[in-house]
């Protein structure tokens, strides 16, 4: 089945069609007497030349969503995460850290020029997606499960300490991403200043 599909694909290819067109030209030469006794070689040669001069067909590249489209999906996932977090009871300290983190993430995902800058950083979009879809849910869910077991073993290290540390790391990562985006805009501004000064002949 795969071989017949491949053969059918070649029959419909530009290479084969071009070779056939030149082969038909060879037949015309044969009928007019120009090919002589070597007409089979002439036809085969013209067909081969036609098939060789045509570049190989290129399969279409996969159409993956661009970072801007990924941000739209990520905003929906962030809304889902928010609903989940609202149903979980956390200690005040951990809850405060989580609020700071989610507010920062919401600012980064805000539609408008902020998202336009973020969309130009695929690695930043990936890091944000990992935080929302994996890191925060795992941290909170692990805390909830560990807290239940800690009630059976009093005296163990409070699970909220690990949660606070995890949220602190995630906030630092999100803050670093915000700093990178801010630096990108700063470099853009500086580049525009140099362009205007060079265009106007003004020394910096």
28 and 124 assigned to the same domain: no
Residue 191 domain-assigned (yes or no): yes
Q: From CA 50, how far away is CA 77, in angstroms rounded?
A: 53
Task: Tell me how many degrees the CA angle 18-14-20 measures, rounded to the nearest 5.
Answer: 30
Query: Residue 14 domain-assigned?
Result: yes
pLDDT exceeds cutoff 70 at 18: no
Among the three residues 12, 30, 53, which one is the final residue of a domain in this structure?
Answer: 53
Q: Which domain, by its residues, includes 178?
A: 67-200
The tens digit of pLDDT for each residue in 144-169 reads 998 877 766 666 678 889 999 999 99
In this structure, are 46 and 71 located in the same domain? Answer: no
Instruction: Looking at the structure, tell me whether residues 132 and 167 fall in a common domain.
Output: yes
Greater confidence, 7 or 157?
A: 157
Q: Are residues 49 and 71 in the same domain?
A: no
pLDDT of residue 94: 94
At 11, the pLDDT band (50, 70, 90 cuts) reads very low
Burial class (CB in 10 A: 0-12, 13-18, 19+), 8: exposed
Residue 60 lies in a domain: no
The answer to whether residues 122 and 171 belong to one domain is yes
Assess whether pLDDT exceeds 50 at residue 2. no
What's the maximum distance between 2 C-alpha atoms anywhere in the chain? Answer: 104
Is 202 a residue whose pLDDT tops 80?
no
Q: Is the pLDDT of residue 92 over 60?
A: yes
Residues 102 and 175 in one domain: yes
Residue 114 within any structural domain of the chain:
yes
- Same domain? For 91 and 12 the reply is no
The separation between CA 7 and the C-alpha centre of its own chain, rounded to angstroms, equals: 35
Q: What is the pLDDT of residues 113-146, one digit of tens each?
A: 888 888 888 889 999 999 999 999 999 999 999 8
* Domain shared by 40 and 104, yes or no: no
Distance CA 148, CA 152 (A): 7
Task: Tally the domains of the chain.
Answer: 2
pLDDT for res 147: 84
pLDDT band for 3, please (50, 70, 90 cuts).
Answer: very low
Cα 143 from Cα 116, distance rounded (Å): 35
In a domain, 178, yes or no: yes
d(CA 192, CA 196): 6
């Amino acid at each position: 089945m795969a071989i017949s599909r491949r053969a059918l694909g070649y029959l419909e290819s530009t290479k084969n069609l071009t070779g056939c067109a030149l082969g038909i030209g060879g037949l015309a030469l044969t009928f007019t007497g120009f090919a002589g006794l070597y007409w089979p070689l002439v036809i085969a040669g013209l067909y081969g030349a036609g098939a060789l001069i045509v570049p190989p067909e290129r399969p279409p590249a996969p159409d993956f969503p661009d970072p801007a489209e990924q941000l739209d999906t990520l905003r929906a996932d962030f809304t889902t995460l928010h609903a989940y977090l609202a149903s979980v009871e956390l200690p005040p300290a951990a809850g405060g850290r989580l609020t700071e983190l989610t507010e920062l993430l919401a600012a980064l995902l805000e539609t408008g020029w902020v998202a336009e800058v973020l969309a130009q950083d695929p690695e930043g979009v990936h890091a944000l997606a990992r935080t929302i879809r994996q890191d925060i849910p795992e941290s909170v869910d692990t805390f909830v499960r560990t807290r239940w077991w800690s009630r059976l073993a009093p005296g163990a290290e409070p699970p909220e300490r690990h949660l606070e540390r995890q949220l602190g790391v995630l906030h630092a990562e999100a803050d670093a991403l915000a700093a990178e985006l801010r630096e990108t805009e700063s470099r853009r501004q500086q580049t525009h200043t140099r362009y205007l000064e060079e265009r106007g002949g003004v020394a910096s």
